[in-house]
A and B are shown apart, each in its own frame.
Chain A
Amino acid sequence: MLRYTLLRIVGAIPTLLLVIVLAFLMVHAAPGGPFDDERALPPEIEANIAAAYHLDEPLPKQLLRYIGGLLQGDLGPSYRYRDYTVNELIGIGFPYSLRIGASAMALALLVGIGAGTIAALRQGTLLDRVVMGFSMIGISIPVLVVAPVLVLLLAVKLRWLPAGWSETGGLRHYLLPVITLALPQIAYIARLTRASMIDVLSRDFIRTAYAQGLGTATVVRVHALKPAMLPVLSYMGPAIAAILTGSVVVEEIFGIPGLGQFFIGGALNRDYTLVLGIVVFYATLIIALNLVVDILYGVIDPRVRYR
């Protein structure tokens, strides 16, 4: 078991290294530099700044320096935020992204499964069509459109919710971004749940359960829900990916200081270290989580260890 775990950890290192090198080369290949401006700098000053950030060194040397820093857990200084290191910025941004993303996921599961189940039980009725119609709309309209429409309706016209983020605003400020981010996922999950639930409800064991005299609520809760959830569980991976990418747009529109906003700003300003840092951070996170799952598989199923 230990051997298996160690092998998996060692196996993850080349993957991560590849991500780092590719990302490093890509950000440096983009034209323009972090300190370019219409207000061009005197050459001496420019040289001083470049030297301060080691940008005057050849690229391979910069890469080695970067990896050397990484080994010590140092993602380097941000070029755009000259008072902050990338470590600090990720420390500031990630909790926001995590909060918004996790809340959106929770909301999507709750509402999506609920709506899908109801639609399945009332299959073919007006209610079913309304739910499915809305979910079709939810899937088709991108976050880029949903966000401004929701802001216009719920914030500007009706004044129910704030139009954007505020540090001191509290929970109300989470609602619009979370709803926006959750909407497409609610739609997908509702459709998946409905289809899967209809399938499960027609199985023999459900008929047996009804024959035992159980009510619909009990049958659904105790017998149908679990098997019906399998496709939804399989969809979790893509859903998390969609929420990660969607959060970039949502953070920008609502002005939330999460990693998505730093990522866009970093890319546009050629903040090499910030962009790289976020890529490395997410890559490490996903590789680590996969590693944990793989190791857990090994624990649960001995056959996997000898694969």
Chain B
Amino acid sequence: MSSLRYLPLLVLLSFATLSGCTDRSALTANTLQRAIPTDPETLDPHKARTTQAADILRDISEGLVGYSPDGELVPAAATSWDLSDDGLTYIFHLREGAKWSNGDPVVAAHFVAAVERLIDPETAAFYAEFLSDVSSIEATDDLTLVLTLGRPTPYLLSLLTHPATFPIHTLSLAEHGDGFARPGKFVSNGAYVLDAWVPGSVVSLRRNEHYWNNAATSIDKVNYHVLVEDSSELNRYRTGELQITSTVPPDNFAQVQAELADELHVATYLGVYYYGFNLSRPPFKDNPELRQALSMAIDRERLTTKVTGRGEAPAYSWVPPGANNYEPPALSYSGMTQAERNRVARNLYKAAGYGEDNPLQIELRYNTSDTQRRVAVAIQSMWKEALGVETTLVNEEFQVLLANIRQGDITQVFRSSWIGDYDDAHAFLKILESDNPANSPGYESEEFDSLMQRAATQTDLDSRRLYLEEAERVMLADHPAMPIYFYVSKHLVSPEIEGWGDNVLDYHYSQHLRFKAAQ
């Protein structure tokens, strides 16, 4: 009987096979094939959140300011700007003749409309507070935009390279409402336009003929392939189906380093990988000595060379090196050898009331992934070896871990990370302010907060820098979290491609790239 039950399904299935398969045109020669690890959640610049959405949006749209391949700020939709002496007023001069992909002129009002939509609570934008330092934005004429700040914001230009601040085509927003950023509707002002998007597969862009600098764009089409598995990326790169990967799988890194050394690009990236302490519960509440002991007992050199091994830099500060106009202070013990650190750590551990007969028993939570597991196992054994700590490893699905960290009821030590949204130390330090929703350890320090406040009011860049550095020094001494290593970006870039540059933000605009043969 059961044999007949599925017969209709079978017939249906075979019919679909016959009707569905069609061969479409082969890969175009001047099409760039790149990889992204997941779909963008949306290409609405105000509702997007992930870095891959931002990467695609930087190809499609253009803000006032952009980055060169080497990570230098360059004029984009604005040709120049003036800053008032008090550091509170920016006047942007927009590019004359710049057009949207439908031929409409790009005017200052489009930037104003975008900012208004960004901060409107109705929009529920993830980056709603991104421009919270901007107190007013005004279009004095079609080509002049005046931005007034509530306090000096030296990183404002860097913020303006983020898609959350890009202009929107107000007419299409009025016409299509929230669906304005979908393929076929999205009117944009960047070097490319959104051509098609098959969720789970590919986001396709094509050249924007109306772009002001279209003559300088070399590549006609760009396909962002959604590849969840990093090993799939590597395979496709090896077969020539991809010219740029989004990462290199950890298991194959050594092999890639040996075989494809010239095509491998590893660069410092503004991101810190850390373990946070839950400061609201014992044993870490009000116990900085114990926190310091655990932090010191992590052999970061061994970890980054033997365990992660993809060029990551051991972290002795919170803000990564390479942030604009900033010299991160180091953890107090960074000058010691690991043996010395372990000795001091043991003393602190004993002073906190623990020892061989009475070992500290803690849970370390991390999100399920091979890299996280390896790091956690290594740190578990380092703590065991140096101090005798009994660590229980708990791996949780990412969303579960996030929920647990936020509730703070069961966590003790947890794995987390932070990626800078703009090139400034403030992007990292702000999250440890008492009232910041991303303050995962629950760090509260009046001294730190007031130093951050004072840094925020400085117009002089050097004194601002000193306040920020002092704030970080104060925070590091409290050990609310253990910075472990700084991320690096890792890409394979085909030798056919020219114009690639490594930079700390890991931005790689497709318009800067070209095929060698195309010249």
Q: Mark A274-292, 1 if CB is under 8 A from B, else 0.
A: 0000000000011001101
* B21 at interface by CB-CB < 8 Å: yes
Please, which residues of chain B bring their CB within 8 A of the CB of A159? 239
B299 CB to nearest chain A CB (Å): 26
Known pairs A39-B438, A102-B14; A237 contacts B5 (CB<8 A):
yes
Q: Are A42 and B128 in contact (CB under 8 A)?
A: yes
| Chain A, Cβ-Cβ closest to B9 | A289
B460 CB to nearest chain A CB (Å): 30
CB < 8 Å: which of A42, A253, A290 contacts B437? Answer: A42
Q: Are B42 and A151 in contact (CB under 8 A)?
A: no
Q: Which parts of B118-175 form the interface with A (CB within 8 Å)?
A: 121-122, 124-126, 128-129
CB < 8 Å: which of B25, B181, B239 contacts A162? Answer: B239
Cα distance A102–B6 when bound, in Å?
13
Please, which residues of chain B bring their CB within 8 A of the CB of A102? 12-17
Q: Which parts of B1-42 form the interface with A (CB within 8 Å)?
A: 2-10, 12-17, 20-27, 38-39, 41-42
Please, which residues of chain A bring their CB within 8 A of the CB of B44? 82-83
B151 CB to nearest chain A CB (Å): 19
Q: Mark A24-58, 1 if CB is under 8 A from B, else 0.
A: 00000011110011111111110011001000000
| Chain A, Cβ-Cβ closest to B181 | A83
Q: Are B41 and A81 in contact (CB under 8 A)?
A: yes
Known pairs A82-B47, A89-B199, A106-B17; A237 contacts B417 (CB<8 A):
no
* A64 at interface by CB-CB < 8 Å: no
Q: Are A257 and B200 in contact (CB under 8 A)?
A: yes
| Chain B, Cβ-Cβ closest to A34 | B399
| Chain A, Cβ-Cβ closest to B204 | A167
CB < 8 Å: which of B223, B241, B397, B437 contacts A43? Answer: B437
Please, which residues of chain B bring their CB within 8 A of the CB of A82? 41-42, 44, 47
CB < 8 Å: which of A31, A101, A230, A235 contacts B399? Answer: A31
Q: Are B42 and A156 in contact (CB under 8 A)?
A: no
Q: Mark B48-67, 1 if CB is under 8 A from A, else 0.
A: 01000000000000000000
B186 CB to nearest chain A CB (Å): 10
Q: Are B238 and A164 in contact (CB under 8 A)?
A: no
* B350 at interface by CB-CB < 8 Å: no
Please, which residues of chain A bring their CB within 8 A of the CB of B199? 81, 84, 89, 92-93, 257, 262
* B398 at interface by CB-CB < 8 Å: yes
Please, which residues of chain B bring their CB within 8 A of the CB of A156? 235, 238-239
* B232 at interface by CB-CB < 8 Å: yes
CB < 8 Å: which of B7, B13, B24, B201 contacts A165? Answer: B201
* B202 at interface by CB-CB < 8 Å: yes
Please, which residues of chain A bring their CB within 8 A of the CB of B417? 38
Q: Are A164 and B236 in contact (CB under 8 A)?
A: yes
* A215 at interface by CB-CB < 8 Å: no
By size class, the interface of chain A is: 35 or more
A282 CB to nearest chain B CB (Å): 11
Q: Are A265 and B38 in contact (CB under 8 A)?
A: yes
* B117 at interface by CB-CB < 8 Å: no
Cα distance A251–B200 when bound, in Å?
9
Please, which residues of chain B bring their CB within 8 A of the CB of A188? none
Q: Are A40 and B6 in contact (CB under 8 A)?
A: no
Q: Mark A218-247, 1 if CB is under 8 A from B, else 0.
A: 000000000000100111110010000000
Cα distance A285–B204 when bound, in Å?
32
Q: Are B7 and A236 in contact (CB under 8 A)?
A: yes
* A293 at interface by CB-CB < 8 Å: yes
| Chain A, Cβ-Cβ closest to B200 | A257
B4 CB to nearest chain A CB (Å): 6
Please, which residues of chain A bring their CB within 8 A of the CB of B24? 167-170
Stretch at the interface among B325-333, B377-385, B402-410: B402-410
Binding site for B on A (CB under 8 A): 30-33, 36-45, 48-49, 52, 80-84, 89, 92-93, 95, 98-99, 101-103, 105-106, 148, 151-152, 155-156, 159, 162-171, 174, 230, 233-237, 240, 251-258, 261-262, 265, 268-270, 285-286, 289-290, 292-293, 296-297
Q: Which 6 residue pairs across A and B have the least CB separation, nearest first?
A: A32-B399, A102-B13, A257-B200, A170-B23, A233-B3, A257-B201
Extra contacts, 12 of them, besides A93-B199, A163-B232 (Cβ < 8 A), are A30-B399, A30-B400, A33-B399, A33-B403, A42-B437, A80-B39, A82-B47, A240-B10, A253-B232, A254-B232, A257-B198, A289-B5
